[in-house]
Amino acid sequence: MEIVILDDAQAIGRLAADQVCTLLARKPDAVLGLATGSSPLPVYDELVRRHQAGEVTFGQARAFTLDEYVGLAAGHPERYRNVIDREFTGRVDLDPSRVAGPDGLARDVPAACAAYERAITDAGGVDLQILGIGTDGHIAFNEPGSSLASRTRIKTLTHQTRVDNARFFGGDVDAVPTHCLTQGLATIMAARHVLLVATGQGKAQAVHELAEGAVSALWPATVLQHHPHVSILVDEAAASRLQLVGYYRETYLAKPAWQGL
Ligand code: GLP
C-alpha cells in the first residue's frame, strides 16, 4: 500500500491519469475499473484532456463500473451507467458496448450479479481499478458490515450514504434509492492494481482507517491492506489524520523514478 500526498485534486488527477496512460501504452486493450462519485472527476477530466490532445486512445480498452442503484429507469440521469458515460466514457473514444455495469433493473438479481462477475472474468479481469471512498469507509457500495469475501450482490444503502448522495438528487434524501448492486470486496480485490483517490477533510478518518486501522468489516476499505498493489492518492486535508504522514512523504520523495506507482 503506497500513500501519495499531493497538493490538490488536479495533481491527483494528473498522477492517476499518468497510470492509466502508461497502462494503455503497454496494453491498449486493458480493462479499466471505473468509479462514480465526485472524487475521480479530476482523473476523468485529465484523461479527456489528454485524449483530445491526441495523447491517449481508449479504442481497444474495456471498462467495468463498480456499482449501480436498483430501480432507476434506464434514462435516469443519476443511473451510474449514465453518469459514467456523461463524465468520462462518452467524452473519449470508448465504445459504449465495451463499457458495462451491474444491471440495476434486472428481474433476477442473483443471476444478473453472477453474470456480471462472469463478464469481468471473461474479459481477463480488471487491470486498473479507480476507486473513491465513502466517509464511512465504504468502497463501491460495500457498506460497513460487508463481507470481506463478498462478490457482486444487492446491498441496502446506509442512511449516511443516502444523505451523502442526496446532493445528486436535488438534496432530497428520499429520492436516493434504498438499494444497489455492487461489486463485492473480493471482486475489487481481484483487480491487478487499485488506485484510490480521496480529497477533503471529510475523508480524513476513512483514509486513516483504510491505511492504518485494523482490518474490519466495519471499515470495508481496510480489506485493501491485503492487496499487493494499492496506490492511495490524497490531498493534504484527506491525509490530515494519518499517523505516519511523515514517513509516507519521505518514501514518495525518495522513490526511484523507474518504479512508477
Ligand atoms: C458513492 C459511490 C462510491 C464512491 C462514494 C464517494 O457511494 N458508490 O464509489 O466512492 O460515493 O463519493 P465521492 O467521491 O463523491 O465522495
pLDDT tens digit string along 183-193?
A: 999 999 999 99
Q: How many CB atoms lie within 10 A of CB 76?
A: 16
Exposure letters 30-62 (e unless 16+ CB within 10 A, then b): bbbbbbbbebbbbbbbbbbebbeeeebebeebb
> Residue 38 — φ and ψ, nearest 5°?
-80, -25
Annotated catalytic, 229? Answer: no
The CATH number of the structural domain formed by 2-255 is 3.40.50.1360
| Ligand 1 neighbour 46 (Cβ under 6 A) | no
Q: What does the domain layout of the chain look like in residue ranges?
A: 2-255
Between the CA of 120 and the centroid of ligand 1 the distance, in Å, is: 21
Q: What is the pLDDT of residues 215-259, one digit of tens each?
A: 999 999 999 999 999 999 999 999 999 999 999 999 999 999 888
Q: Is the model's pTM score more than 0.75? A: yes
Nearest-CA residue for ligand 1 atom 12 is: 37
Select which of 143, 164, 209, 235 is catalytic.
Answer: 143
Report the nearest-CA residue for atom 9 of ligand 1: 140
176 in contact with ligand 1, CB cutoff 6 A: no
Active site residue 7: no
Q: Which three cell numbers stand for residue 55?
A: 495523447
